[in-house]
Amino acid sequence: MCAMSDTSVLATVGDFFGEVWDRATSAAPAPSSAVVLVTALVALAVVVVTPVWRVARNVVTIAHEGAHGVVALLCGRSLAGIRLHSDTSGLTVSRGKARGPGMVATAFAGYVGPGVLGLGAAWLTSRGYGVGVLWLLLVALVLLLVQIRNWFGLLSVVVTGALLFVVTWWLDVQWQVEVAYTVTWFLLLGAVRPVVELQAERRRGRARTSDADLLAHLTRLPGLFWVVVFGLVTLGCLVLGGSWLRR
């Protein structure tokens, strides 16, 4: 009886992952140009309407800190944990050399991370794999969860992941594709506003420990230089990713 039970559980788990794989790897029909435009406008509204942005910015912060963590690991640093705060700020702690290319790359990754993530999502979504993008984002959130070190960060990641799971498991494919376009547009557009906010805070003298100022300390290039680079990269991702989505 126990063996049969174990076999049944394994079969159920196998069926679940098999269905997930089929959904994630099946190309969906491209939406109409009107749908692409509407999803872009919805994402733009989320970014420019400040009360909505204050909530949605937590998603950008997750991508920001996740980018720090991924690049830190790729550069051979050890990840000590990630914190997400209710004011939409965050902190990623990694261990390794205090200076050098690895530290520079880790510090640089944060502000460009959401835009680069959006660019990758745009490439896949524009080729019919929007549903796959949603599943990849969900997997990324699960992997990120083990590195979260505070309760608000845990809540942010769990809520975001739960919403993604509801979309990917229960909505029709057409709705999933539309959500994928909206999320992709949001990542591309939402990557730009934090860079503008960063310079505004720096101008007021309130961001002396920002990534731009850390990079200035590491490279002796002025913080404004790094803000401009952040802006150019995120705008470049928006233009290129947007052209893919419109096409």
Write down the pLDDT at residue 11. Answer: 63
Residue 78 lies in a domain: yes
Where do runs of H (alpha helix) occur along the chain? 2-25, 33-48, 50-74, 101-125, 130-145, 151-170, 173-190, 192-203, 211-219, 223-246
* Percent of the chain at pLDDT exceeding 90: 85
pTM above 0.75, yes or no: yes
Write down the pLDDT at residue 2. Answer: 52
| CA–CA distance, 237 with 215 (Å, rounded to integer) | 21
Domain count for the chain: 1
Q: Which residue has the higher pLDDT, 117 or 19?
A: 117
Beta bridge partners, 90, equal 84
Cβ(111)–Cβ(211) below 8 Å: yes
Residue 44 lies in a domain: no
Instruction: Give the residue-averaged pLDDT of 198-226.
Output: 93
Residue 141 lies in a domain: yes
Residue 166 lies in a domain: yes
Residue 33 lies in a domain: no
Residue 77 lies in a domain: yes
Q: Does the pLDDT at position 3 exceed 70? A: no
Cβ(234)–Cβ(111) below 8 Å: yes
Write down the pLDDT at residue 247. Answer: 82
Give the Cα-Cα-Cα angle 119, 122, 124 (nearest 5 degrees). 115
Q: Which two tokens stand for residue 143?
A: 């992997």
From 138-152, 200-214, 233-247, the region with the lowest mean pLDDT: 200-214
The alpha carbon torsion through 126, 56, 175, 192 (nearest 10 deg) reads -20
| CA–CA distance, 184 with 180 (Å, rounded to integer) | 6
Cβ(212)–Cβ(227) below 8 Å: yes
Quick check: helix, strand or coil at residue 79?
strand
Phi, psi of 206 (to 5 degrees): -105, 10
| CA–CA distance, 176 with 202 (Å, rounded to integer) | 39
Angle between the N-to-C axes of helices 192-203 and 211-219, in degrees from 0 to 180, rounded to the nearest 10: 70
| CA–CA distance, 110 with 233 (Å, rounded to integer) | 12
Label residue 10 by pLDDT band (50, 70, 90): low
| CA–CA distance, 166 with 158 (Å, rounded to integer) | 12
Residue 135 lies in a domain: yes
Supply the Cα-derived Rg of the chain in whole angstroms.
Answer: 19
170-203 pLDDT, tens digit each: 999 999 999 999 999 999 999 999 999 999 999 9
| CA–CA distance, 178 with 42 (Å, rounded to integer) | 11
Residue 74 lies in a domain: yes
Q: Does the pLDDT at position 83 exceed 90? A: yes
- Residue-number span of the structural domain to which 165 is assigned: 50-246
98-107 pLDDT, tens digit each: 999 999 999 9
Q: Which two tokens stand for residue 71?
A: 């690049």
